Amino acid sequence: MPAEEHKWFIEHTSPGTAHMFGVVNFLKSMRTEYQQVEVADTTQFGRILILDGKIQSAEYDEYIYHEALVHPAMLICPAPRRVLVTGGGEGATLREVLRHPTVEKLVMVDLDREVVEICRELLTSWHQGSFDDRRVELHFMDARQYLEETDQLFDVILSDIPEPVEAGPALKLFTRQYFELISKRLVAGGAFALQAGDCGLPFIEAHSAILNTIRQVMPLALPYRAFIPSFNTEWGFILAAAEGREMPAAEALDLLIQERRLDLRYFDGETAGSIFALPKDIRARLAAETRTIDDDNLISVY
């Protein structure tokens, strides 16, 4: 057994399931004002970011997560100029947004300055300097408070918030009230996308409730998902937009990507065809959902 393999990050996903990641080096372990944060170099997935014991993204495959989160919403908008990102501490969501040449202003609102500073220092292949782009405006504050106070409107809003864990900082960023605030800050015809939790069937409870909640607030809500190896599961996303909008067909998407000169590794027309089509069992499970998440009726994951 190689010398590295006596150090492990063990991510528990339920009382009876866990994933073990061999660790070459833990670069950072600290408690910020809001959460426990770790950065580790793993044997298999390169560098990873961990918040409150849950993997956020990995050097090896973060492009899958971030391309899946960003480009559907950006491409469904003809010419996105003003974009808001809530959360997104790694800076890779910024990176993907900034690929779109029409973007003039990109506001990022993250609660935890310390996490962002750690990412800036240690996750350089994620952000690739995006924090320093002149179009980026960075706010360290609660996303709900920002949305309540601002009078700006955005073409695209992206919610890149960690999963809601018990007593964690994200609990109120998956509720009807949050989505209503988002909705008010979108231009007519604007688009919203968010990371929306584990989409693997045994752990789809949160994703399903989030989808149903957004459907109370926005005219169109399309669930999609991407398999992310370091997450050991398919991850759920939701694209919400004005009624009548839909994802362009594969050829149209490929053309759009070409026009915007986006150099993508994961997302294209065929990928979109794959990830927006849902297997029958998942569709049945989502269709049966009746719960709505509310400030008075929160959900949390294990």
Question: What are the residues binding its own copies (CB under 8 A)?
Answer: 1-12, 14-26, 29, 31, 36, 38, 42-45, 50, 52-53, 60-61, 63-64, 200-203, 226-227, 229, 232-234, 264-268, 270-271, 273-275, 277-281, 283-284
How many residues are listed for the chain in this entry? 302
- Bin 238: left if φ > 0, else alpha if -120 < ψ < 50, else beta: beta
Least distance to its own copies, CB of residue 144, Å: 24
Query: The tokens 């779109």 sit on which residue?
Result: 100
β-partners of residue 136 are: 106
Exposure string (b/e) for 173-200, b if CB count within 10 Å is 16 or more? Answer: bbbbbbbebbbebbeeebbbbbbbbbbb
Least distance to its own copies, CB of residue 125, Å: 16
Tell me whether residue 175 or residue 233 sits nearer to its own copies (CB atom). Answer: 233
Point out the catalytic residue in the list 61, 110, 112, 160: 160
How would you write 110-130 as a 3-class SS string? ECCHHHHHHHHHHCHHHHCCH
Least distance to its own copies, CB of residue 296, Å: 27
Least distance to its own copies, CB of residue 48, Å: 12
Least distance to its own copies, CB of residue 298, Å: 20
Tell me whether residue 188 or residue 288 sits nearer to its own copies (CB atom). Answer: 288
Task: Count CB-CB contacts under 10 A for residue 119.
Answer: 25
What does the alpha-carbon distance between residue 110 and residue 88 come to, in Å, rounded to a whole number?
7
Tell me whether residue 25 or residue 297 sits nearer to its own copies (CB atom). Answer: 25
What does the alpha-carbon distance between residue 242 and residue 188 come to, in Å, rounded to a whole number?
7
Query: The tokens 């959360």 sit on which residue?
Result: 87
Catalytic residue at 160? yes
Tell me whether residue 153 or residue 278 sits nearer to its own copies (CB atom). Answer: 278
Tell me whether residue 60 or residue 140 sits nearer to its own copies (CB atom). Answer: 60
Catalytically annotated residues = 160
